Amino acid sequence: MQTGRRADFLPSYWAGLTDRPMFYSRDLAHQMLGGHLLGLDTENLAMLRHFAASATERRGWYPLWAFLFDGTPAAIDYHDDDDFVREIPAPFELVEKAVEQYRWTRDERFLRTPEISSFIRTTLTSFVQAHDPLGTGVAGERGSGQIFQGTATYNEVEHPPHLLVAADGIASQWAAHAALAGVAADAALDPEFARWNAERATALETEFAEGWWLAEHQHYTAGFTREGPVSGFGLESTWFPAVKGLMRPGYRGTAHLDFLSACLEKSPPHNIEAFTYLPEAYLRYGRDEEALRWIRFLAESRADYPEVPFTHVAHIATGLTGLSVGPRDGDVRTRSHIPADAWLEVDQIAAGNSTIGVRHEGHEASELWVTAGSGVTWTSTWPDGRTTRVDVPVGGRVRVTADGDTTAAPLQK
């Protein structure tokens, strides 16, 4: 935590290697939910605004890769406006996470602050137009493989020939459009912009489903070079379609996750922060045991890389509980991802204008309570897909069970 450490420091926290006193765009995007759960909304907004403001036409609409805590571009990653680290997924992730933070905080500054509002629109329009190597509307790069010239993927150890478009790129691009399409009505955004985002999300999903599946190899391609699609394990470009939820449920999604699991056993990543994405990939598709395996692995690592503890908070408080906030204020949802013989309880979660707690007892019973702010409408999803929907007032606690019982009671003082 760097806020107030020096008079010239931005409200900020460490988001990068521990020997680099900086915050990075990729790390910030992945740490923001944990940051919110830890009460760091001011820091999230300040850092997001700084990245958004750095994305200029001269820089090809890319945000800079990293800043020192005083807001100075990190010299290790920025030499000049033609020579700086840039990777296609990052700007899209920042757009998606701006929407995510709006949902969790209901703070319109995450969408309406001028530099963020402009960044959102230019990323989804001008940025894509400037970086469309295949002419398909899927953002990418020229295939240099040089991060200071721009790469299509977060995978910095990819082997040549290098990707022009990558699966982590299209997944992040799709997620940005889908997030905006899903929140636009409640955020009072331009209806035409909302419809356009929904159309682009649908188009990208269709493009991925129909054009990126490798039937011979039984997994989605990591991306395309000038020679065509590539097969094999591509680290981020293999797991990001699952992390973002771009894969349609069904046989292909299952086969791709099986492929990912086999690759992780044979060739695990060398950097601990890479593993922080895996719980999200498996939880999203209901493979809870595999997700829990990686959550425990990360906890046992005791790694001090900031991305590990920040995402661990999110994996527990929102991942295993299935806690999410809907597009409208007061809409919260849960689904237990814990083992049948376990229990999990989280409390003092800021969800929109409410402060809530959640408890799961295996897959048989769940409770939700509201300790401050406004009441919520809670939707609990059970393993068989059934849902229970109930209103929980402020000061109230409701227990629902898999067999359909609902019990409401005031909170104990």
Same domain for 72 and 181, yes or no, is: yes
- The whole-number average pLDDT for the span 306-335 is 95
The percent of residues in the chain predicted with pLDDT above 90, rounded, is 87
pTM: 0.95
Same domain for 143 and 231, yes or no, is: yes
pLDDT at residue 30 in the model: 97
- The whole-number average pLDDT for the span 139-148 is 94
Which domain does 390 fall in, by range?
A: 326-410
pLDDT in tens, 11-41: 999 999 888 899 999 999 999 999 999 999 9
pLDDT at residue 245 in the model: 97
Same domain for 192 and 305, yes or no, is: no
- The whole-number average pLDDT for the span 62-82 is 95
Task: Give the whole-angstrom CA distance, residue 228 versus residue 214.
Answer: 11
- The whole-number average pLDDT for the span 42-70 is 96
Band the pLDDT of 9: cuts 50, 70, 90. confident
Band the pLDDT of 192: cuts 50, 70, 90. confident
- The whole-number average pLDDT for the span 290-314 is 96
Q: Is the pLDDT of residue 113 over 70?
A: yes
Question: What mean pLDDT, rounded, does the chain reach?
Answer: 94
Q: Is the pLDDT of residue 188 over 80?
A: no
Task: Give the whole-angstrom CA distance, residue 358 versus residue 317.
Answer: 9
> What pairs with residue 67 in β-bridges?
23, 73
> Is there a domain that residue 344 lies in?
yes
Band the pLDDT of 330: cuts 50, 70, 90. very high
pLDDT at residue 7 in the model: 77
Q: Is the pLDDT of residue 380 over 90?
A: yes
Same domain for 295 and 270, yes or no, is: no
Single out the residue of 395, 389, 391 nearest to residue 373, CA to CA: 395
pLDDT at residue 234 in the model: 93
Same domain for 310 and 344, yes or no, is: no
**In CATH, what number is assigned to the domain containing residue 41?**
1.50.10.10
Cβ contact 75:83 at 8 Å: no
State which amino acid sits at residue 255: A
Whether the CA torsion 128, 278, 68, 11 is positive or negative: it is positive
Same domain for 163 and 304, yes or no, is: no
- The whole-number average pLDDT for the span 150-164 is 92
Same domain for 188 and 301, yes or no, is: no
SS3 assignment, position 240: helix
Same domain for 293 and 306, yes or no, is: yes
Tokens, residue 413: 């003082």
